[in-house]
Structure 1
Amino acid sequence: MDEISTGVLLSVLFVLILLSAYFSGSETAMMSLNRYRLRHLASSGHKGAIRATKLLERPDRLIGLILIGNNLVNILASSIATIIGLRLFGDVGIAISTGVLTMVVLVFAEVTPKTFAALHPERIAFPSSHILRLLLIVLLPFVKAVNLITSAVLKMVGIRSTKTSDALSQEELRTVVHEAGALIPRRHQEMLLSIMDLEKVTVEDVMVPRSELYAININDEFKSINKQVIQSPHTRVLLYRDTVDDAVGFVHLRDALRLQSKGQFSKSSLLRAVKELYFIPEGTPLNVQLSNFQQNKERIGLVVDEYGDIQGLVTLEDILEEIVGDYTTSMITTPSEDINEQQDGSFLIEASINIRELNKEMDWQFPIDGPKTLNGLILEHLEEIPTVKTSMRIAGYPIEVIELGDNMVKTVRVLPQHYAQPKA
């Protein structure tokens, strides 16, 4: 290279540094692309996204290509820098050129382009995919050879290359939804998170318990039955004989009122109008039951335990409300009616309230992996039926029993402002 002037060598060195910056930036940009946004753009016909997607289908070849190009230009740059150093400074020029080139490559060919590419991956990756695709065609045999050697070395040390999956776990997807920020309205975020939580919630958590069922005993006097039908707060009413466990079926108020308008309303006609019962095993996750409702063309079912005893009632609307929140008008007591704030900041709460509804309404943290009601939680905690004025602390919340009845805790007082456990 003696006949080549130092100026030309400096120009070549400058070009090599630019190429090194290109390869470094391209590598970071391609690997920093959001794979889900990339698929969306590719499916929308974005040409740059389509090219990048094809390159990323074989990341081993892409990385091999980029590293081959980067190492080639860096080695050439090192050789040329050494020659320039020797010409300008003699033997000490080797050390000078090494130090200067290291700093130049580090700043201008590594850190700067990679930082910019990480911040704006699409601006770098999409245009770069043109050049990378052409280089891959030209250097494919060499890239394949390097990959084969690499795979052989990995196998020798007991490592087998396997294709990684881009699939997200449920918790990872939850994090993505949480971090979506303004991209997804808060209400939509809550709905998405509720859908993911359906498998953690069972029909027992959302059912109307047996004690609160609005049902009609078909063995009552007909006058009483007629009155209960007229006063029913629901469009579907459960009919039973003497005990709820001997359920007959559901009757739609529309059918009952039609019979009344025709003057054909009687016990026998009412029984002929009932719909077949649909039973749901307790412990069924809501996501499974939602699918079962759809497959069986049902909207309402009775929850039964392992002995076949009826525990409560669940409807399609109950499951949908777990996703979108309360949207129906119901005569069933709502949590807000069971909770009464007092002047001292405490709350008087009906102990029959569902714990999940209480937590949701008040943003509290009572455990939900055991009893379903606050009464059940208190009885489990004390392991006996308490007396009035009995005080305890559950999950850090001070609770005082205010009223008892029928071997149950009826009303309690909760002091949320002191819920935190005292630190040791």
Structure 2
Amino acid sequence: MNVSEKPPSTFGQSLKNKLFSWLPQQRAETREDVLENLRQAEEDGIVARDAYDMMQRVMFVSDLQVRDIMVPRSSMAYVEREHSLDQCLDVMVDSGHSRFPVVDNEKDQIIGILLAKDLLHFFDEDNKQRFNLRDLTRPVVFIPESKRLNVLLSEFRENRNHMAIVVDEFGAIAGLVTIEDVLEQIVGNIEDEHDIEDDENLIRTMEDGEVIVKAVLPIDEFNEHFECYLNETNSDTIGGLISQTLGHVPVRGESVDIDQFNFEIIHADSRRIHLIRVHKQAS
């Protein structure tokens, strides 16, 4: 062997052999063949479970149409053309969204899109008097209910749009769809704080197994759910117990250990806690 040559990496050769052993011996001719190869790769540990699930969703996203995932007209959050700045802010705070259709005649006509960030300039008292919603309204994109999601995603990326208004076969407003709605069909549900806060449940277990609770969760309900006993002598809620333990209202990212639990604050303001991530530590 030439002294300048190096022996092949054992790890690299092993990985190479593993990959070649996974490659199908004959060409996949149908989508079912591809899915079967992916399933086998996941079982053999070559493809992670999350990646396998995502690739499956990618394979089927072209089967879905906009009507399958859109927010229906009755559930749309919107602002009206004649709304004042304060009225727009109320809608935004209540919904937690960042983009809103601007409507005329009670959702029968949508004249544009308003971005929440465009209102930041008017928080100054001097600029507040110059607020005019019509000046801030951006062009709206209309799409049919029958549009395929893979086509819509390509259009969103190409045109750098994040929201489109959906119309039915007669041209009437049917609902709206956002790029997040499309991406969720590929990567799974995208949770945010408003999704959780709007949930009526006080305890929510996420897809990855982590547990989020609302600060208003009564301690006795927490104890019942986790089969534990946290002292509720001086506080009625989990948020109150945490604040009392720390001696102040905690900020986002702050955490505290109480008994066998770690509590991490994931949403709070200057006055109170809203959402808490709960991790039960090994005893």
Normalised by the shorter chain, which TM-score bucket?
0.5 to 0.7
Query: Which residue of 183, 189, 203 corresponds with 1:320?
Result: 183
CA shift digits 1:105-143 (9 cap, x unpaired): xxxxxxxxxxxxxxxx9xxxxxxxxxxxxxxxxxxxxxx
1:175 alignment counterpart? 36
Counterpart residue identity of residue 36, structure 2: T
Shift in Å, 1:315: 0.9
CA distance in 1, matches of 2:200, 2:151: 31
For residue 190 of structure 2, give the secondary structure of its aligned residue in structure 1.
coil
The question of 1:252 aligning with 2:118 is answered no
CA shift digits 1:172-199 (9 cap, x unpaired): 1111112221221111110000000101
CA distance in 1, matches of 2:82, 2:135: 15
CA distance in 1, matches of 2:156, 2:60: 18
2:237 alignment counterpart? none
Map residues 6-405 of structure 1 onto 2, 5 A cutoff: 37=20, 166-180=27-41, 181=43, 182-220=45-83, 224-261=87-124, 263-265=126-128, 269-329=132-192, 331=194
Between the two proteins, the alignment pairs up a number of residues equal to: 182
1:409 alignment counterpart? none
Counterpart residue identity of residue 175, structure 1: E
TM-score, with normalisation over the residues of structure 2?
Answer: 0.56
Gaps in structure 2 of 5+ consecutive residues: 1-16, 202-283
After superposition, the Cα gap between the structure-2 partners of 1:205 and 1:239, relative to the gap in structure 1 and judged at 3 Å, is same
After superposition, the Cα gap between the structure-2 partners of 1:288 and 1:222, relative to the gap in structure 1 and judged at 3 Å, is closer
CA distance in 2, matches of 1:262, 1:271: 19
CA distance in 1, matches of 2:113, 2:156: 16
Shift in Å, 1:273: 1.1
CA distance in 1, matches of 2:84, 2:105: 12
Gaps in structure 1 of 5+ consecutive residues: 1-33, 41-120, 122-164, 339-424
More helix by share: 1
* Aligned-residue RMSD, C-alpha: 3.3
Task: Tell me which structure has the larger Cα radius of gyration.
Answer: 1
> Does the aligned pair in 2 maintain the 1:222–1:267 contact within 8 Å?
no
Shift in Å, 1:328: 3.4
CA distance in 1, matches of 2:138, 2:61: 28
CA distance in 2, matches of 1:213, 1:236: 11
Q: Bigger relative contact order, structure 1 or 2, given CA contacts below 8 A and separation 6+? A: 2
Counterpart residue identity of residue 165, structure 2: L
Shift in Å, 1:168: 3.2
Shift in Å, 1:261: 2.4
After superposition, the Cα gap between the structure-2 partners of 1:176 and 1:334, relative to the gap in structure 1 and judged at 3 Å, is farther
CA shift digits 1:267-308 (9 cap, x unpaired): 962211111001111111111111111222211111111111
After superposition, the Cα gap between the structure-2 partners of 1:335 and 1:229, relative to the gap in structure 1 and judged at 3 Å, is closer
Counterpart residue identity of residue 162, structure 2: R
More strand by share: 2
CA distance in 2, matches of 1:232, 1:285: 27
Aligned-pair identity in percent equals 28
Shift in Å, 1:316: 0.9
